[in-house]
Amino acid sequence: MATTTRHPSHRTPKQHFKVCFCFRRMFRLKVVEPPDEINTVFEEYSRDGIMSMDDMCNFLVGFQGENEAVTTHAQAIFDSTLKHLNIFQRRGFHIDAFFRYLLNDLNGPLAEVHHDMNAPLAHYFMYTGHNSYLTGNQLSSASNTSAIIKALKKGVRVIELDLWPNSRGDDVLVHHGGYEFI
């Protein structure tokens, strides 16, 4: 979960992130104000600088594509994002609260899985890379780690690596096509 604080002795606010449910990392924000794109979206979905719960529902459905969004979902967002305010101050989001929500865990980058994922693994398509260490064809091309990096950047999520211990047994060698990488 991300939270933003501003210590009186610091000029720029800091963003706090919870990592692995165990500890927090703190980063100094480079941007103090929301970017122009965020301001434009906020102006489109808010009225008089305040985004109400109905406006939030419209944003969730119209901009985020969350067709399942209902008032209770917007209420949960308001309650968790504006929990530091008393009940009378929770009229809606101003631009800073909206910006904090966009960086919050409640607005994660991935939607929940909507598919039944109970089938055996062999029933699913996986984008894999066979011989992804090769810079060209399998018979005459060279092996190189840059080819693996290129495959990963193209979206491959599974790569083939042959790992073997070295002669002393204190390190691992990666063997491919007569070449080895240390």
Kindly list the catalytic residues: 130, 176
Q: Are strands 2-5 and 14-19 parallel, antiparallel or unpaired?
A: antiparallel
> Helix, strand, or coil here: 115?
coil
Q: Is 134 helix (H, G, I), strand (E, B) or coil?
A: strand
Q: Are strands 179-181 and 23-28 parallel, antiparallel or unpaired?
A: unpaired
Phi, psi of 121 (to 5 degrees): -55, -35
- Taking CA atoms, 135 is separated from 39, 67, 150, 180, in Å, by 45, 44, 10, 14
Instruction: Please state, in angstroms and as integers, the Cα–Cα distance from residue 118 to each residue in 68, 124, 157, following that order.
Output: 23, 10, 20
Two structure tokens written together for 2: 């991300």
Q: How far apart are CA 9 and CA 6, in angstroms?
A: 8
